[in-house]
């Protein structure tokens, strides 16, 4: 009887060991997408649902596609190649956008080098028309249209701090493999290093997602008088309420609005509605052209998840 019991037990032990050694299923890597300028973010997958319109193009995390609609979520702590829409710290808001509002981006990283210098571009940079790419004050024109995608992986971005010199707006330079670059007027393009040459100055430039070395005309390098520091998303001053971490959020019309990933402090006094307190919260574009005004939307949390700041 003992031998029979051991024989029956052996397969069970083998299965248990195999189960213990089997790796846990991994979560798919997040994907991101760019919504075009002037897109209206809806609270539901319905053109008649309440919404808020963003003036500039913005990057979101892609949640899922539902027919002609895509559900997206705001980002925090994720460096991207297109400006992001920042919510109060800790808040992750979900919206719906029409698939036709999603703009093409560079599908994968690319690089080139040659006598003219070097060029490296990360996936996620906005592609405008054909072979034109736009990013952080730069307009790049490639020799041929690159491979594009409607969503992309997280780029390997650089943390770029302002420097003492910048390129003058309108500066043009020739890059390897038939590419060229022109400096715009909205965002300062900082020079990391330069050295004099017979044709002008050989400069290195690094934005979060584009890095290049090229020769620019004499006089194209200017002093950077205003060193604009990156928006760190600091806590608001004069906070009146705090939404507890993990709280489920909803829109004023009752549909799900996301969550508070961490405790979120809000300055609005809010209003009480059906067991919830609803707040006006700002949505600010970070990483784009300066002077873009914040827009507001109303978000609600259960009163049990909200406490007054002492």
pLDDT at 105: 92
Same structural domain for residues 123 and 194? yes
Sequence-distant (6+) residues with CB within 8 A of 193 are 203, 204
Same structural domain for residues 183 and 112? yes
C-alpha 252, offset from chain centre:
26
In a domain, 243, yes or no: yes
Answer with the one of 174, 194, 223 that is the final residue of a domain.
223
Contact call for residues 150 and 97 (beta carbons, < 8 A): no
- In angstroms, the CA 43 to CA 93 distance is 10
pLDDT at 25: 56
DSSP 148-162: EESSBPPP----PPP
Tokens 């609803």 belong to which residue? 278
Same structural domain for residues 97 and 239? yes
Give the residue-averaged pLDDT of 148-168: 85
pLDDT at 16: 47
Q: Which of 21, 150, 94 is nearest to 299 (CA)?
A: 94
pLDDT at 263: 93
Same structural domain for residues 98 and 112? no
Q: How far apart are the first and last CA of the chain?
A: 71
Span 193-241, pLDDT tens digits: 999 888 889 999 988 899 999 999 988 999 876 444 344 444 566 789 9
DSSP state of 151: S
Number of domains in the chain: 2
Q: Is 278 helix (H, G, I), strand (E, B) or coil?
A: strand
Answer with the one of 223, 245, 260 that is the final residue of a domain.
223
Of 6-10, 43-47, 119-123, 260-264, the least confident: 6-10
Q: Is 29 helix (H, G, I), strand (E, B) or coil?
A: coil
Contact call for residues 47 and 67 (beta carbons, < 8 A): no
Residue 105, phi then psi, degrees to nearest 5: -135, 165
pLDDT at 114: 92
Q: Which domain holds residue 57?
A: 32-103+235-308
Same structural domain for residues 150 and 44? no
Same structural domain for residues 113 and 219? yes
**Whole-prediction pTM:** 0.78
DSSP state of 290: T
- In angstroms, the CA 186 to CA 289 distance is 5
Answer with the one of 189, 223, 257 that is the final residue of a domain.
223
């Amino acid at each position: 009887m003992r031998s029979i019991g051991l024989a029956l037990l052996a397969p069970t032990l083998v299965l248990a060991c195999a189960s213990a050694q089997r790796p846990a299923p991994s979560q798919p890597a997040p994907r991101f997408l760019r919504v075009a300028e002037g897109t209206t973010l809806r609270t539901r997958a319905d053109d008649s649902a309440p919404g808020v319109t963003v003036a500039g193009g913005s990057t979101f995390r892609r949640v899922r596609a539902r027919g002609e609609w895509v559900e997206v979520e705001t980002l925090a702590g994720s460096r991207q190649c297109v400006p992001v829409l920042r919510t109060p710290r800790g808040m992750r808001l979900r919206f719906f956008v029409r698939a036709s509002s999603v703009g093409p981006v560079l599908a994968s990283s690319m690089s080139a080098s040659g006598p003219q210098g070097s060029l490296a571009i990360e996936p996620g940079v906005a592609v405008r028309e054909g072979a034109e790419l736009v990013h952080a004050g730069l307009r790049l024109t490639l020799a041929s249209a690159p491979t594009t995608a409607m969503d992309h992986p997280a780029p390997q971005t650089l943390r770029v701090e302002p420097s003492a010199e910048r390129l003058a707006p309108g500066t043009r330079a020739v890059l390897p493999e038939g590419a060229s670059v022109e400096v715009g007027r909205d965002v300062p393009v900082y020079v990391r290093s330069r050295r004099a040459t017979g044709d002008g100055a050989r400069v290195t430039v690094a934005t979060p997602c584009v890095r290049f070395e090229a020769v620019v005309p004499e006089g194209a390098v200017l002093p950077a008088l205003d060193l604009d520091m990156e928006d760190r998303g600091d806590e608001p001053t004069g906070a009146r309420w705090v939404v507890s971490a993990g709280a489920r959020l909803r829109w004023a019309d009752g549909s799900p609005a996301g969550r508070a990933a961490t405790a979120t402090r809000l300055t609005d006094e809010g209003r009480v509605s059906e067991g919830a307190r609803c707040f006006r919260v700002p949505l600010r574009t970070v990483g784009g052209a300066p002077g873009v005004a914040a827009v507001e939307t109303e978000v609600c949390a259960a009163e049990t998840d909200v406490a007054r700041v002492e």
